[in-house]
């Protein structure tokens, strides 16, 4: 028998016991459906993150904070006091550890262009400068930290800007300053000073950002604005870190070398913006990998169903196997016949699973885009990529093939004379 003949015969043999084959395929379907959806979730999340964050980071920009043994998740353990290391609670470390002396040390590192304090700022609200609009709550005010966000209008803040701000589209729309209409307009940024008084600072919109999950609720201000706010809020003398930028850094620059230089300048920990973004994508990948394990476990469980199905088939077709071997079919082709039957069970199960998962993704994506993802433009929650679909199909067929080897070996080893005598 040629390979095509064996394949067609194996596929035909699956229809001998339709009900048993259907239930085995359904067992495969559960695992395949789960695995397809989890890989679709991973693809959808990573595509969105890549679109939103792929070009955000600027080469050679680092956030530097004090090196510390404080672990916010650690609950016990007595440690010896070390004056060289930061002490106290995690709140103390985040809010009152860096001084200008540390920033000056970083500014003297070889290749550093700019080293500035990194403040933790809090705002109250923003409103139109002419006083005609409503006040809109501000969750976080962030100084310009060298990120390249996608803009709907205008430009990003540069090093020479003063009294400038970049707002997200939702803030601009709420104040009636959306798109290009908002660029160049003045607004008032209000915050609470160290005495509890509300202070308003007039700033000019230089850019309007497209809304992303990374910038949701944030306003980016020029350094002089953040410095003034820090002074008023009592955070100008001691702050939680520094922002450092190296000159002439490119995408090809080895950031590890730059990072080592910063950390050698003192008791510092440096992290590039690219590393921080990479952490987000790593978390997403880890979550989806854990979900993939669930699908693989279901497939392993289904493999026992394949073994049972084929063992029953071998038992029912013992005389037929004996006749085929008596007519000259070799052990290898008998093995291949039953192994292909197992692989075909995996093929049909995975095909149905991928088809069903594709249909479900259309429904889920529609519901998600109309509800909890409506504020995240361009975020397709589930994306069934054809390469991932082929991978899932191949994996399922491999598991099915491996599961079918035991019954196939048993069939190939049958003695033809004893097989023909069986009843």
Give the model confidence (pLDDT) of 232-264 as tens digits. 999 888 888 899 999 888 878 888 999 999 999
| Containing structural domain, residue 119 | 61-272
Strands (E), 121-184: 125-128, 136-137, 140-143, 151-154, 164-168
**Mean pLDDT for the stretch of residues 46-65:** 77
101 and 217 assigned to the same domain:
yes
202 plus 238 within the same structural domain: yes
Q: Tens digit of pLDDT for each residue in 65-96? A: 887 655 444 445 555 655 555 544 444 444 44
| pLDDT tier, 122 (very low <50, low <70, confident <90, very high otherwise) | confident
Residue 126 and residue 15 share a domain: no
pLDDT at 354 over 50: yes
Domain end among 240, 272, 304: 272
Q: Is residue 299 domain-shared with residue 249, that is, in the same domain?
A: no
8 A C-beta contact, residue 52 and residue 212: yes
For all residues of the chain together, what is the average pLDDT? 86
pTM of the model: 0.70
Do 119 and 234 share a domain, yes or no?
A: yes
Q: Which of 247, 272, 297 is the last residue of a domain?
A: 272
Q: What is the pLDDT of residues 4-30, one digit of tens each?
A: 888 888 889 888 889 999 999 999 999
Q: What is the pLDDT of residue 68?
A: 65
For residue 409, CA distances in Å to 162, 214, 327, 400, 421 come to 78, 56, 19, 14, 20
Statement to judge: residues 267 and 167 lie in one domain? yes
Q: How many domains does the chain have?
A: 2
| Residue at which a domain ends, from 226, 243, 272 | 272
9, 321 Cβ separation under 8 angstroms: no
Percentage of the chain exceeding pLDDT 90: 47
231 and 158 share a domain?
Answer: yes
C-alpha to C-alpha distance for 363 and 390, rounded to whole angstroms: 22
Q: Are residues 366 and 317 in the same domain?
A: yes
Q: Is 232 within 8 Å of 191 (Cβ atoms)?
A: yes
Looking at the chain, the whole-number percentage of residues with pLDDT higher than 70 is 88
pLDDT in tens, 195-231: 999 999 999 999 998 876 666 667 999 999 999 999 9
3-state SS assignment for residue 184:
coil
């Amino acid at each position: 028998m040629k390979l095509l003949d064996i394949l067609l015969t194996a596929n035909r043999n699956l229809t001998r016991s339709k009900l048993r084959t259907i239930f085995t395929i359904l067992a495969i379907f559960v695992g395949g459906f789960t695995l397809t959806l989890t890989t679709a979730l991973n693809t959808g999340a990573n595509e969105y993150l890549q679109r939103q964050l792929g070009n955000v980071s600027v080469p050679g920009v680092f956030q530097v904070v004090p090196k510390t043994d404080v672990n916010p998740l650690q609950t016990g353990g007595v440690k010896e006091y070390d004056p060289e290391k930061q002490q106290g609670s995690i709140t103390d470390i985040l809010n009152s550890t860096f001084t200008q002396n540390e920033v000056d040390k970083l500014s003297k590192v070889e290749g550093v262009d700019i080293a500035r304090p990194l403040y933790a700022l809090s705002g109250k609200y923003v409103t139109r400068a002419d006083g005609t609009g409503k006040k809109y709550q501000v969750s976080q005010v962030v100084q310009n930290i060298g990120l390249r966000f996608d803009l709907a209008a205008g430009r990003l803040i540069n090093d020479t800007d003063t009294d400038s701000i970049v707002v997200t589209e939702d803030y601009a729309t709420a104040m009636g300053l959306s798109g290009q209409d908002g660029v160049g307009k003045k607004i008032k940024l209000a915050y609470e000073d160290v005495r509890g008084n509300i202070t308003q600072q007039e700033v000019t919109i230089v850019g309007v950002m497209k809304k992303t999950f990374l910038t949701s609720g944030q306003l980016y201000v020029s350094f002089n604005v953040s410095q003034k706010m820090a002074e008023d809020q009592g955070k100008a003398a001691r702050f939680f870190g520094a922002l450092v930028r190296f000159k002439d850094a490119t995408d090809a620059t080895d950031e590890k070398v730059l990072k080592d230089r910063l950390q050698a300048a003192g008791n510092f920990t440096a992290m590039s913006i690219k590393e921080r973004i990479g952490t987000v994508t790593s978390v997403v990948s880890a979550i989806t990998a854990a979900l993939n394990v669930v699908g693989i476990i279901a497939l392993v469980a289904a493999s026992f169903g394949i073994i049972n199905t084929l063992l029953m088939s071998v038992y029912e077709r013992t005389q037929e196997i004996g006749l085929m071997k008596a007519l000259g079919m070799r052990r290898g082709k008998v093995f291949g016949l039953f192994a292909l039957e197992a692989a075909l069970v995996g093929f049909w199960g995975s095909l149905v699973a991928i088809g069903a998962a594709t249909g479900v993704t259309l429904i889920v994506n529609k519901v998600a885009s109309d509800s909890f993802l409506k504020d995240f433009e361009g975020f397709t929650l589930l994306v069934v990529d054809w390469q991932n679909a082929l991978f899932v199909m191949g994996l399922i067929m491999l598991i099915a093939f491996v599961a079918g080897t035991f019954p196939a070996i048993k069939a190939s080893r049958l003695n033809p004379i004893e097989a023909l005598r069986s009843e």
